[in-house]
Amino acid sequence: MNQPLQSAMISVFYKDGLEPIVKALHAQGTVLYSTGGTRAFIENLGLPCVAVEDLTAYPSILGGRVKTLHPKVFGGILARRELAEDLAELAQYEIPTFDLVMVDLYPFSETVAGGGSESDIIEKIDIGGVSLIRAAAKNHAHCTIVSDRKQYSRFLELIESQNASLNLAQRKQFAAEAFQTTAAYDSAISQWFAGSSSMALRYGENPHQKGVFEGDLSQIFDKIQGKELSYNNLLDVDAAVNLMQEFSHEAGKTFVIIKHNNACGVATRESELKAWTDALACDPVSAFGGILAVNGHIDAAVAAEINKLFFEVLIAESYSDEARALLAAKESRILLILKSGIELPTQIRRSTLNGYLVQDRDAQSETPADMKPVTEIHPTQEQLEDLEFALKLAKQTKSNTIVLSKNKQLLASGTGQTSRVDALNQAIEKANRFGFDLEGAVMASDAFFPFPDCVEIADKAGITAVVQPGGSIKDQASIDYCNANGMAMVITGIRHFKH
């Protein structure tokens, strides 16, 4: 049944988009109640508005901390109109009912992100607004709650098309969104009290988007130089750190170069200088403006070579004084020291549609012991090590992906393609363009090959060993091709999709 909006309590921090709503409500005969700045806004539009102070017979007190916390407000919101007892009490205490509550919340997260003082942040903890939202949402059987300005256009469309009335399903949807609003708000406050912090970014992924980082980067890095990290920098730094976590010190020094969240250069060598030289050789074009990371030390010799390239961020475990002095010549460069023993979140959370997807971090990495040979020819020890190397990269590269490697060096990868055939062709073309000899190289994928087409293409390019994550002995067509053409294939028990 539709509930006419005969009276409305409106008290909002942001006034954007409010004007057409209050005008539409007034045109439908809705009585408007409000406080402070919102009441002044409504009255400046030439519309009548009842002051909450006149209803409660109490002024706004304590610097505005207490305005609506009164039985004459909450009684009118929470009354169960199907109960005679509730209606009798409303009449006894002269409490009007409220069919609509429009309230948003003080900008707590924005104040934190903007570097507000502790006292400013505390003052942006909304009390009355949260209480009004929860009360109206609880009593959605009789009351509509609009708790976010993002809902304004939808709400306006409803009241204009339905003569200022909403049905139960619509009220329940607004109520559900209201509890999501208060839950997120309380979570942000809790995180702030627990010591979590927010950092305002220059902008988001693009200049027209706002961006904020919520977390404490000081637990991961010591920053020794450079401008503030941007939204895109942080995405690439995250990709670099996750990839670096795949490589142990025992295997050697590994240098990675990240561009747009994917590796464009990786090599493991006996020294940082050799690792840098071979990582850069993978794709010196894409490396321009990239994010660099090494699980080792930056000395003067390494710094001198890196200094020849324009880059955004360099991550290392330590720097010599000479290296720091050399790299400091360009003040905007960001130099980070990666702390030892860092702990990354065990779960990954991303917004999807009108909710969130949460999953465990992909923490499993395969070693040669996890690779089961399924062909007559088994990989050599050197090939197994290259397959392990390639599989680490495939795990941290956007699907669909193919990674080609040899001698613990990335030769090329195909990333983010709609088919693995496309990814493989992209990788082969790129490797050839940069002069790599694919004869004797290995190939890794993020998942199994349902058809033999990829191994056929790989064979013609000179690739001699293949790993299929999540494959099985049922993939007989691929196995048969490998057997007939002298290729080695191993399978592992899991796949590594990454979107």
Catalogue the active-site residues: 138, 260
The CA distance from 393 to 498, in Å, is: 11
Angle (deg, nearest 10), helices 18-27 and 36-44: 70
400 upstream amide cis, omega within 30 of 0: yes
Q: What angle do CA 330, 333, 334 make, to 5 degrees?
A: 150
CA 118 to chain centre: 27
Q: Could you tell me if 455 and 488 are in contact, meaning their C-beta atoms sit under 8 angstroms apart?
A: no
Q: Please, what is the end-to-end C-alpha distance for the chain in angstroms?
A: 44
Long-range contact list for 87-95, CB < 8 A, 24+ apart? 95/71
Place of tokens 């610097």: 63
By DSSP bridging, strand 347-352 and strand 372-373 are: unpaired
The CA distance from 251 to 269, in Å, is: 8
Q: Where are the alpha helices (DSSP H) in 307-395?
A: 321-327, 381-395
Q: Which of 414, 393, 407 is nearest to 438 (CA)?
A: 407
Place of tokens 């942080």: 234
CA 386 to chain centre: 32
The CA distance from 331 to 335, in Å, is: 10
b/e code 205-230 from CB counts within 10 Å (16+ = b): eeeeeebebeeeeeebbeeebbeebb
Place of tokens 């004869």: 439
Report which residue type is found at 186: D
Q: Which of 338, 344, 341 is nearest to 361 (CA)?
A: 344
Q: What are phi and psi of 136, to 5 degrees?
A: -65, -40
